[in-house]
Amino acid sequence: MRFPPFNIFRKYLERRSSETESGVQLTAVSGMEVLQIRHGLLLFLLAAVRAQVNPGVCRYPLGMTGGQILDEDITASSQWSESTAARYGRLDFDDGDGDGAWCPDIVADADIGGPREFLQVDLRSLHFVTLVGTQGRHADGMGNEFAQRYRIKYSRDGSRWVAWQDRSGRKVIEGNRNAYDVVLKDLEPPIIARYIRFMPIADNSMIVCMRVELYGCEWLDGLVSYSAPAGQDMIYRGLDVHLNDSVYDGTVGLLMEQGLGQLTDGAWGRDDFLHSHVYGAWPGYDYVGWTNESFPRGHVEMTFEFDRVRNFTSMKVHCSNMFSRGVRMFRQATCHFRTSESDWESQAVSFHPPVDRVSQGARFVTVPLGDRMASAIRCRLAFNEAWMMISEVAFQSAGTAVYNTSLTPRKRGHPTNLLPGEDPVHKVDESNTRILIGCLVAVIVILLAVIVIILWRQVWQKMLEKASRRILDDELSARLAIQTQAFSFHHSSQSSGDMSNSNSTYERIFPLCSSDYQEPSRLIRKLPEFAQSLEDLAGSSKSSTPPQACGSDGAPHYAEADIVSLQEGATGSKSYSSVTAVNMSLLSGKDRDMREFPRDKLTFKEKLGEGQFGEVHLCEAEGMQEFIKRNLPEAVNDCLNTAEGGSDTPVLVAVKTLREDANKDARNDFLKEIRIMSRLRDPNIVSLLAVCVECDLLCMITEYMENGDLNQFLSSHQLNDETQSSDKATVSYSNLISMCTQIASGMKYLSSLNLVHRDLATRNCLVGKNYTIKIADFGMSRNLYRGDYYRIQGRAVLPIRWMSWESILLGKFTMASDVWAFGVTLWEIMTLCKEQPYSQFSDEQVIENTGEFFRDQGKQVYLPRPACCPAVLYSSLMLGCWRRNAKQRPTFQEIFSQLGESQA
């Protein structure tokens, strides 16, 4: 069902509201909507009808579109071709037979004697026509002819034709502006006629085609014409009151003859005859009036001619009764009847309406006509005051009804789906009401659905945010809760000891499950096991030095499961089970390489830095070369920083010592790092050379990297092609790429072991000679870069600016999250560590941005391309590392290859 009633009503209302302003208004609507319009109009009008304003109701389509008007009743002065004959001139109707409209042969210019060509519609009986619709020839887009202007002529008898004109005397009607839209035109005044002619006006050069529809109802009154003395002018207090019949369509002299006019236009005068319903009309416009001074006999005689002999029951006369201004309704009506062209019957009907000396309201006065048979009625209306004014006359005859009380739509013609006895008006009304209700319900349902969807989306988003935060807060913090206890324990023990450096507070950088951190009592129980573990680890250690301060109940054993659970707890991801398995094998395999180095062979040289576990010192290790030759593979051997000299020359090493007051967690992690590092053998991973674990003071001996950590190194350098000169040492772009490649290589190695670093950053890479880069710090952070870590409600620190969204929100650490961190590390290198990632963001904003990565609505902020970073490297590699979908991020193998290519 194609029924947009609101549209129709809106259009209709627009038209109705504007027509009072201009009197004449055209409304363009789509041709497709004509049917809808007519039903919409009906519905609206029936709903809004004031009982008396029947011409307003009388707007039924008379059958051009619907087919009630037969082809034979549609004729034309000429036709362009047989396919554009008159019968094709039906509005919004194209049966595919013809060419889609009526098109006359040649259309005359309006200026040369007016239009001659016409399309004529015979309505077979008198009709009250209130509205016309026109349309051009569209023919499914093939046609483009239409009438921009046209005129209308009409006739009641087929012989006498009247040119329609509006109340201002304009005869030309503005028509169509395109070939498809329907343009409706209210006829003000309406037409009472049987024959209507549409007469297009156009340039000679233009072929004009028309499709038309008439709207109105059958004129059951049967009145063909009335004749009366012409209305007169009144001067009321200096005001000219014109009481003529301004729309009378007959001849007008002293007498008005053979026409219809204001007395049958359906517009009744107002109580005050000086005012009118018609906007801008002159005083007295609605009324036809006479003064008794001009009628010595004291009455006005009017003759009414009808289409046929009828049995008249009554006549209704709408009169002014404004006696305060010298106007009263008639005192007496005397009517004579005539059935043929013969004489008037002598027997008259006389009626004396009661004189109303109270109300000055205009009213209908009903004159009973005594069921007299006649085809013409002559009535004499006697004056009762100086003036008599009437605005409407209507007749009622047996078997018919005057239009004022019961306008009837056209019933003749073919397609109608009405059953006998059905009222077409009500049928339309009811069906439309159902449709209207249906549409309203549908609209309401759609609106409700939209509201529900919007609300649902909002709720969903909030839930998502909450869930994210909950994961961040609850899940991670829950995992870290025990860690907090450990911290507090550490703090308290620290405060009781002589170590007062708060910077040395140990904090994990990633979440751990409870098994990773143990209560002090458990620590005490397990500590001996650690010692045993390391003893086992040392295997056939030649050191005979007995454990110092390691407890008296034997060598401690470090539970491998603890290391495994460290990995498990940190990831919480499924993919980690396989990682765990690999780590298990990695860590539980035979470890014969890690040997105890005699502490007394270490000579302190200088302090290199301070980390989470304690201090890092540069030491000379006497006999280290020999020691390594025996204990470590060649690869490690080669990369040692040996002082010049023979094999007994002391070697420079970095010695990382666990501070004395370290709590069990710190000790645990220190040992774990030893175990992890002891199995790593790669040119780009810092090598663990030896350990000192046989006494209470644990330390690990690693190769010495002369240039410290990469962050410090790069911050103190500038790019060698930078224009401004400074004291800073320089580094070239290819050096930078080389560094990146080395890190990628080291990470490639780690990923081959399925080992997740979880804290890759420049601060955790060390720089040796010739820009050699080695990855260090397996699972630790350092105070020096405290600002790089985010503290969640005081419970934990996380390197959020390097972490992937899934690591932050889901606690998920994988190779892919290491890749993300590598992207950030790459960015650091390319900016020469001159600023922190997202330096303009607070920690909270970084977390918020992480949420945007998760939502992926294009609101996430990426780190910008560093100045020295080629666009291709930024877009293909850096941004690739930060893809939301972890699976779409490149692997370290791919990264390594790509960097290798860009290096070449």
* Nearest distance, CB of residue 845 and ligand ADP, angstroms: 26
* Nearest distance, CB of residue 653 and ligand ADP, angstroms: 8
The amino acid at 596 = E
* Nearest distance, CB of residue 498 and ligand ADP, angstroms: 21
What CA–CA distance (Å, rounded) separates 199 from 77?
10
Among 766, 773, 808, 826, binds ligand ADP (CB under 6 A): 766
Burial label, 86 (beta-carbon count in 10 A; 0-12, 13-18, 19+): buried
Phi, psi (deg, nearest 5) at residue 695: -120, 180
Give the count of beta carbons closer than 10 Å to the beta carbon of residue 699: 24
Among 320, 612, 718, 898, binds ligand ADP (CB under 6 A): 612
What residues have CB less than 8 Å from 698, skipping those under 6 apart? 657, 658, 667, 670, 671, 691, 692
Among 256, 780, 809, 821, binds ligand ADP (CB under 6 A): 780
Q: Which is nearer to ligand ADP, 222 or 611 (CB)?
A: 611
Phi, psi (deg, nearest 5) at residue 399: 85, -10
Which tokens belong to 525?
Answer: 């129980």
Q: Which is nearer to ligand ADP, 373 or 639 (CB)?
A: 639
Whose CA is closest to 530, among 546, 547, 513, 506?
547
Q: Which is nearer to ligand ADP, 26 or 765 (CB)?
A: 765
Quick check: 782 binds ligand ADP (CB under 6 A)? yes
What residues have CB less than 8 Å from 476, skipping those under 6 apart? 511, 792, 796, 798, 811
Q: Which is nearer to ligand ADP, 555 or 632 (CB)?
A: 632
SS3 call for 8: helix
What CA–CA distance (Å, rounded) separates 10 from 233?
41
What CA–CA distance (Å, rounded) separates 504 from 613?
7
Which tokens belong to 591?
Answer: 């470890």
Tell me the number of residues near ligand ADP by CB under 6 A.
22
What CA–CA distance (Å, rounded) separates 279 from 285?
10
* Nearest distance, CB of residue 659 and ligand ADP, angstroms: 11
Whose CA is closest to 775, among 687, 707, 836, 715?
687
Inter-CA distances, 673 with 591, 764, 777, Å:
14, 14, 8
Q: Of all residues in this chain, which one has the CB nearest to ligand ADP in the complex?
A: 611
Asked if 68 contacts 220 with a C-beta cutoff of 8 angstroms, the reply is: no
Q: Which is nearer to ligand ADP, 108 or 639 (CB)?
A: 639
Give the count of beta carbons closer than 10 Å to the beta carbon of residue 463: 11
Q: Which is nearer to ligand ADP, 300 or 686 (CB)?
A: 686
Quick check: 56 binds ligand ADP (CB under 6 A)? no
Query: What mask, x for binding ligand ADP by CB under 6 A, covers residues 614 to 633?
Result: --x-----------------
Quick check: 705 binds ligand ADP (CB under 6 A)? yes
* Nearest distance, CB of residue 781 and ligand ADP, angstroms: 6
- Report which DSSP code applies to 102: B
Specify whether 307 is catalytic: no
Inter-CA distances, 712 with 605, 736, 787, Å:
21, 14, 14
Task: Find the binding residues for ligand ADP in span 708-747 (CB under 6 A).
Answer: 708-709
Q: Which is nearer to ligand ADP, 266 or 779 (CB)?
A: 779
How many C-alpha atoms does 757 have within 13 Å on its Cβ side? 33
Question: Per CB under 6 A, which region of 215-223, 361-369, 555-563, 604-612 contacts ligand ADP?
Answer: 604-612
Question: Per CB under 6 A, which region of 22-30, 727-735, 750-758, 778-786 contacts ligand ADP?
Answer: 778-786
Among 295, 330, 704, 790, binds ligand ADP (CB under 6 A): 704
- Which of 221, 759, 788, 818 is catalytic? The answer is 759
Q: Which is nearer to ligand ADP, 156 or 667 (CB)?
A: 667
Quick check: 269 binds ligand ADP (CB under 6 A)? no
Q: Which residues pair with 615 in a beta bridge?
A: 610
Quick check: 608 binds ligand ADP (CB under 6 A)? yes
Quick check: 686 binds ligand ADP (CB under 6 A)? yes
Let me know the angle formed at the C-alpha of 835 by 708 and 858, rounded to the nearest 5 degrees: 130
Inter-CA distances, 104 with 34, 85, 664, Å:
24, 8, 107
Task: Find the binding residues for ligand ADP in span 407-436 (CB under 6 A).
Answer: none
Query: What mask, x for binding ligand ADP by CB under 6 A, covers residues 637 to 676?
Result: -----------------x-x--------------------
* Nearest distance, CB of residue 860 and ligand ADP, angstroms: 30
Q: Which is nearer to ligand ADP, 825 or 898 (CB)?
A: 825
Question: Per CB under 6 A, which region of 269-277, 316-324, 571-579, 699-707 contacts ligand ADP?
Answer: 699-707
Quick check: 687 binds ligand ADP (CB under 6 A)? no
SS3 call for 577: helix
State the residues that interact with ligand ADP by CB under 6 A.
608-613, 616, 654, 656, 686, 702, 704-705, 708-709, 766, 776-777, 780-782, 784
Residues with active-site annotation = 759
